[in-house]
């Protein structure tokens, strides 16, 4: 699933994304770490893996999900 970065805090490695339907979904440091990223920019397109109501991994849209 793809989304757009709405907020990202470098210190906590957490933030939120906007799904294509306009809804917002938060992600935590574990999801950020699972994607192998170093940082995110606001407005950046990303791929996310979701289980239930939780994002389990987030990575750039050009990278495969783990």
pLDDT of residue 66: 80
Helix H or strand E encompassing 32:
helix 29-34
Q: Are residues 57 and 31 in contact, defined by beta-carbon separation less than 8 angstroms?
A: yes
pLDDT grade, residue 65 (50/70/90)? confident
Please report the pLDDT score of residue 33 as a whole number: 95
Which CATH number characterizes residue 44's domain? Answer: 2.40.50
Is residue 66 one of the residues assigned to a domain? no
Domain count for the chain: 1
pLDDT at residue 64, as a whole number? 80
Q: State the residue range of the domain holding 27.
A: 2-60
- Asked, for residue 65, whether it belongs to a domain, the answer is no
pLDDT tens digits, 8-64: 999 999 999 999 999 999 999 999 999 989 999 999 999 999 999 899 999 998 888
pLDDT the model gives residue 63: 84
């Amino acid at each position: 699933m793809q989304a757009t970065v709405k907020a990202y805090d470098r210190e906590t490695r957490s933030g939120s994304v906007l799904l294509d339907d306009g809804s917002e979904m938060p992600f935590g440091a574990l999801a950020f770490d699972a994607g192998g990223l170093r940082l995110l920019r606001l407005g950046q397109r990303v791929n996310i893996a979701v289980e239930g109501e939780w994002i389990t991994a987030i990575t750039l849209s050009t990278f495969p999900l783990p």
